[in-house]
A and B are shown apart, each in its own frame.
Chain A
Amino acid sequence: MNSRPQSQVPVAALQGALAAEHAAVWVYGLVGAFVPDALSRRLNEAATTHQARRDATQRILIDAGAAPVPPEPGYLTPEPVTDAASALRLTITAETDAAAAWRSVIERSPADADLRGTALEALTDAAVRATRWRATAGASPLTVPFPGAP
């Protein structure tokens, strides 16, 4: 557990990534009630992944001497979640937000940092998951050329 020098760690960007992971964990907790049981395995896997990223991001921030942002007491969704279609759109939103937050970590990390590898893995994972949810939702297009780009 070697702690990173604080100057090397883009604390604000990591707090953004942590906030996105908190939100994603909340989203996957919510949508389970609205989507068919056949999707529950994928939902659980996504929830587990985001929980692990949330925990790892908290540890990085603590190691850097920063206080990790807590989850919000509640989240405002872009639209009411009332059925499978709106629930799937929310998972796509959560993954898109996570991709953007992790891309920002890459942009603000120093070169050669382990952090860039961690952030790239998180960005890639969010992008692939968003594409898979778009396919499940029948959305089009299924891909975007620059996942995470503003």
Chain B
Amino acid sequence: MLTVGTALLLAGPAAVTGCSPSARAPTGPDPLESPARRAETDAALAQAVGQNAAQAHPALAATARALAEDRMTHATALRAELRRARPGPASTNALPPAVPAPAAPAAATPDVSAARTGLAQAARAAEDEAAGLVVTLPGYRAALLASVAACCATHAALLS
């Protein structure tokens, strides 16, 4: 009993600080996994809005296509960094969905304001997620996520 208790006591602080060697070992999901997946989801959403709004709302459609292109570029860069950090077969299938597939219905709705709101919400959420990672990641990754956050802020600004 005492041994178990001691072990727990020792494990506690190390797990909290995240500074122990085990916390750095590449076992858990890479923190870039979630923003990479989100970028792919957002790109698909924006692409759908771009197609659905092409006839009735060409201006929104053009914005959506530009957003889709930026977010695909983010996904590509984040995936490249993920592969660089952990070469080998991707383990993404083992992970639960990082993003609760947002606003996907907005793409199908003819309501242009709902589609616009869906894109804006996705942009804000992506900005928040990337910005949250900027503080903790190493320099190169922090700078990459900072640019992603700033880009998503420009998307939100275009949609506001």
Chain A residues with a Cβ under 8 A of chain B: 99, 103-104, 106-109, 111-113, 116-117, 119-120, 123-124, 126-128, 130-132, 135, 141-149
Complex Cα distance, B136 from A113, in Å, reads: 9
Can you list 8 contacts pairing A with B, beta carbon distance less than 8 Å?
A116-B142, A120-B131, A127-B153, A128-B150, A131-B158, A143-B66, A145-B69, A145-B147
B134 within 8 A of partner (CB): yes
Neighbouring A residues of B140 by C-beta, 8 Å: 107
Complex Cα distance, B92 from A33, in Å, reads: 55
Q: Are B154 and A131 in contact (CB under 8 A)?
A: yes
Neighbouring B residues of A112 by C-beta, 8 Å: 135-136
Q: Are B146 and A106 in contact (CB under 8 A)?
A: yes
Partner pick for A141 among B66, B77, B136, B149, CB 8 A cutoff: B66
Complex Cα distance, B69 from A144, in Å, reads: 10
Chain A CB within 10 Å, residue with most, of B142, B144, B154 = B154
Neighbouring B residues of A123 by C-beta, 8 Å: 146-147, 150
Once A103-B143, A128-B154, A146-B77 are accepted as A-B contacts, the answer to whether A111 and B149 lie under 8 Å apart by CB is no
Complex Cα distance, B156 from A124, in Å, reads: 12
Partner pick for A107 among B131, B143, B148, CB 8 A cutoff: B143
B5 within 8 A of partner (CB): no
Once A120-B134, A124-B153, A127-B154 are accepted as A-B contacts, the answer to whether A145 and B139 lie under 8 Å apart by CB is no
Complex Cα distance, B153 from A109, in Å, reads: 22
Partner pick for B148 among A104, A108, A141, A146, CB 8 A cutoff: A146
Neighbouring A residues of B158 by C-beta, 8 Å: 131, 135, 142-143
Complex Cα distance, B145 from A148, in Å, reads: 11
Q: Are B134 and A145 in contact (CB under 8 A)?
A: no
Complex Cα distance, B132 from A117, in Å, reads: 9
Complex Cα distance, B131 from A49, in Å, reads: 21
B52 within 8 A of partner (CB): no
